[in-house]
Chain A
Amino acid sequence: MLEIKNLHAKVEDKDILKGINLKVKAGEVHAIMGPNGSGKSTLSSVIAGKEEYEVTKGEILLNDEDLDDLAPEVRAHKGIFMSFQYPIEIPGVTVTNFIKTAINETRKAKGLEELPAKDMLKKIRATAELLEIDRKFLSRSLNEGFSGGEKKRNEIFQMAMLEPKLAILDETDSGLDIDALKVVANGVNKFKSKDNAVILITHYQRLLDYIVPDFVHVLHDGKIVKSGGKELAMELEAKGYDWLK
């Protein structure tokens, strides 16, 4: 599904990623952990195609296609989804209207007709129910005045609606209390299948109690310094990151 080869990237002349190698297959869940400033969020932004980040060396392949030079929306159309650590507010645009636009733009890019309003509504309702989202929530302005939990839940809602091939969840657990965390984790667990892949970017092991990863990678100073199974996360929890430096 995703293959990252010797990826180097910088932002404003500062090298952040210094040679990342990573292979993610369909059906797998990978966790990328690491201390603050290790390059976790940069990695997700680079995969999503954020403009300020410049890839200086290496490549990112999605199903063997090089993503270099593709605009973020084109990457999205190809099945990459990123859940934001800090979701953006768009006043006056409802959750429903936003997701409708996102889905129809993606369909348009694939040469498909817009999804008929009736089907769209049905899908929205079914997904909202699955994620235990209140109907009233759907007619609120996107992320405006949302609590931390609501914002993250909305991200997961969009992910479930867009059905991406690869979902990158950037610090989805930050700022969530235990109940909100369970709801979000539950949503991700319902979403994952043998056909898609999930990358969890997280600082803490806590989220991994609810979404069990197949692989855990430790990022330090722009490189993956250790990879392992779920037990690596437990070890990190006990020992911290210092022993890996």
Chain B
Amino acid sequence: MSKYTEDDLKKELETKEYEYGFYTDIESDKFPVGLNEDIVRAISKKKNEPEWMTEWRLEAFKIWQNMTEPEWANVTYKKPDFQNISYYSAPKKKPELESLDQVDPELLETFKKLGISIEEQKRLSGVAVDIVMDSVSVATTFKKTLAEKGIIFCPISEAIQEHPELVKKYMGSVVPRTDNFYAALNSAVFSDGSFCYIPKGVRCPMELSTYFRINEGGTGQFERTLVIADESSYVSYLEGCTAPQRDENQLHAAVVELIALDNAEIKYSTVQNWYPGGKDGKGGVFNFVTKRGLCETNAKISWTQVETGSAITWKYPSCILKGNNSVGEFYSIAVTNNYQQADTGTKMVHLGKNTKSTIISKGISAGKSQNSYRGLVQINSRADNARNFSQCDSLLMGNNCGAHTFPYIEVKNKSAQVEHEATTSKIGEDQLFYCNQRGIDTDKAIALIVNGFSKEVLNKLPMEFAVEAQKLLEISLEGSVG
């Protein structure tokens, strides 16, 4: 069992049913709408949290009350009514269907295009699978492999119970409760999320994926993730799923904190494919995320994201390069179509000496969408010999979309080297005709051009994720040139 790879696990999982059992006892729970101290206490109580956690949440709530929503992003939307949201809703079991015939054909068509197996399609759409299964054994094997190495990978609610010393020490250490409106809100009411700890000197043998956290159920709209890589350890973490996500929650405000101690490396990859709203711009998820990582000496954090979903995206995965010789990377593909709006980018804060950061951002806009890159490169006075390279490329389709670039550069040390490159291009009729002439139809031609454009970022994704992400780009832009 020593050579149990991620592929083995995935194969097994593809033929097994999704197990909700863990949550069934609280299935019917849902809180009334509105947010006040009592609700915050109640959430904490519901999760049997220790006193310190309750207090931490309450403090966050107080901070949040005195904050206002940020309005500087290049997006327009009707602000959610925060007193009209239910802040605790246990994951519900989806209605179980008897066969795939009962599933929305459009959804099935998308599954097919993504190359998702029949069994997996059933799992994702909530169809009963007739294979006799024992997903507990899969989970056990998975956990055993990790446990042998001393790796902790569990829901954050479990970590609060089982590993309070780690949670107390690190939660809020990179994204403090006072950081911003949504981070404060999340700190007060976070539903659940993932916790991961890699011990000193351990190289995590598999890609850790929320996809494999089968006891997770649903993390709700206020997800909280904490990843700690102890000295000289390595972990690659995958978040999200390329399969279409149907979600009733309009507002999502997640917080992700990464801590890379001396000589550690964290690779964090995201594929975000939430409901983008209809072709007419109605509906869709508001995605207001705070993601930040802290690098100690010689540490490295690498963010890779493929953002194709959500009506509004407000997201800046960042790196605090605190330790000398630490490295931060940000690779992003953001696709907007129809009426989607994305304001996304990164912050690279250079504090230590010889710190290095790389930013590669690829924005693709189609339809009537607006796609903005917003990035800060900050070189502080003590950050001798800091280096940054930024490249922001925008690709436009049609005449009704927009691409915007807002690079901020603050340099307080003369030895810094900061480079910024930006390009904007448009998929031209001539390019399409050239492809058509070689027998490639327009949808396929767009996919080809977009994949070529995004290549540097796609190459950074773990292999199997990259293949799925390519197909996802294709689907997101289908029919975008009339």
The answer to whether B441 touches A105 (Cβ under 8 A) is yes
The answer to whether B439 touches A73 (Cβ under 8 A) is yes
Task: Give A127-152 interface residues, CB cut-off 8 Å to B.
Answer: 141
Query: B377-409 toward A: CB 8 Å interface, digit per residue (1/0)?
Result: 000000000000000000000000000000000
Is B232 part of the binding interface, using a Cβ–Cβ cutoff of 8 Å? no
The answer to whether A51 touches B433 (Cβ under 8 A) is yes
Is B449 part of the binding interface, using a Cβ–Cβ cutoff of 8 Å? yes
Is A42 part of the binding interface, using a Cβ–Cβ cutoff of 8 Å? no
The answer to whether A162 touches B439 (Cβ under 8 A) is yes
The answer to whether A73 touches B448 (Cβ under 8 A) is no
Name the residue of chain A whose CB is nearest to the CB of B449: A90
Is A98 part of the binding interface, using a Cβ–Cβ cutoff of 8 Å? yes
Contacts of A87 in B (CB 8 A): 434
Name the residue of chain B whose CB is nearest to the CB of A79: B439
Query: B407-437 toward A: CB 8 Å interface, digit per residue (1/0)?
Result: 0000000000000000000001111011111
Task: Give A62-113 interface residues, CB cut-off 8 Å to B.
Answer: 71-73, 76-77, 81-82, 84, 87-88, 90-93, 97-98, 101-103, 105-106, 109
Number of A residues whose C-beta is below 8 Å from B? 30
The answer to whether B453 touches A92 (Cβ under 8 A) is yes
Is A23 part of the binding interface, using a Cβ–Cβ cutoff of 8 Å? no
Cα distance A49–B435 in the bound complex, in angstroms: 12
Cα distance A91–B451 in the bound complex, in angstroms: 10
Is A219 part of the binding interface, using a Cβ–Cβ cutoff of 8 Å? no
Contacts of A98 in B (CB 8 A): 438, 448
Which of B430, B431, B436, B444 is in CB contact (< 8 Å) with A76? B436
Contacts of B436 in A (CB 8 A): 49, 71-73, 76
Which of A71, A77, A93 is in CB contact (< 8 Å) with B448? A93
Cα distance A72–B439 in the bound complex, in angstroms: 7
Name the residue of chain A whose CB is nearest to the CB of B440: A105
Cα distance A74–B400 in the bound complex, in angstroms: 29
Is A196 part of the binding interface, using a Cβ–Cβ cutoff of 8 Å? no
Is B455 part of the binding interface, using a Cβ–Cβ cutoff of 8 Å? yes
The answer to whether B440 touches A88 (Cβ under 8 A) is no
The answer to whether A90 touches B448 (Cβ under 8 A) is yes
Is B191 part of the binding interface, using a Cβ–Cβ cutoff of 8 Å? no
Cα distance A71–B441 in the bound complex, in angstroms: 9
Is A172 part of the binding interface, using a Cβ–Cβ cutoff of 8 Å? no
> Which of B428, B436, B449, B454 neighbours the largest number of chain A CB atoms within 10 Å of its CB?
B436
Shortest CB-to-CB span from A202 to chain B, Å, is 19
The verdict on A162 contacting B438 (CB below 8 Å), with A72-B433, A90-B431, A105-B444 known, is: yes
Cα distance A106–B440 in the bound complex, in angstroms: 7
Which of B430, B437, B451 is in CB contact (< 8 Å) with A92? B451
Name the residue of chain B whose CB is nearest to the CB of A71: B436
The answer to whether A76 touches B434 (Cβ under 8 A) is no
Name the residue of chain B whose CB is nearest to the CB of A102: B438
Is A190 part of the binding interface, using a Cβ–Cβ cutoff of 8 Å? no
Task: Give B349-391 interface residues, CB cut-off 8 Å to A.
Answer: none
Contacts of B448 in A (CB 8 A): 90, 93, 97-98, 101
Is A50 part of the binding interface, using a Cβ–Cβ cutoff of 8 Å? yes
Cα distance A49–B444 in the bound complex, in angstroms: 18
Contacts of B455 in A (CB 8 A): 92
The answer to whether A77 touches B439 (Cβ under 8 A) is yes
Query: B447-482 toward A: CB 8 Å interface, digit per residue (1/0)?
Result: 011011111100000000000000000000000000
Name the residue of chain A whose CB is nearest to the CB of B458: A92
Report B's interface with A, CB cutoff 8 A. Answer: 428-431, 433-442, 444, 448-449, 451-456
Extra contacts besides A48-B437, A72-B437 (20): CB < 8 Å: A50-B433, A52-B429, A73-B435, A73-B439, A73-B442, A81-B438, A84-B434, A88-B428, A90-B431, A90-B435, A90-B448, A91-B452, A92-B455, A93-B448, A93-B451, A93-B452, A102-B438, A102-B439, A103-B439, A162-B438
Interchain residue pairs A-B with the least CB separation, the first 5: A92-B452, A93-B452, A72-B436, A76-B439, A102-B438
15 pairs across A/B with beta carbons < 8 Å? A71-B441, A73-B442, A76-B436, A77-B439, A82-B437, A90-B434, A90-B435, A90-B448, A90-B452, A92-B452, A101-B444, A102-B439, A105-B439, A105-B440, A109-B439
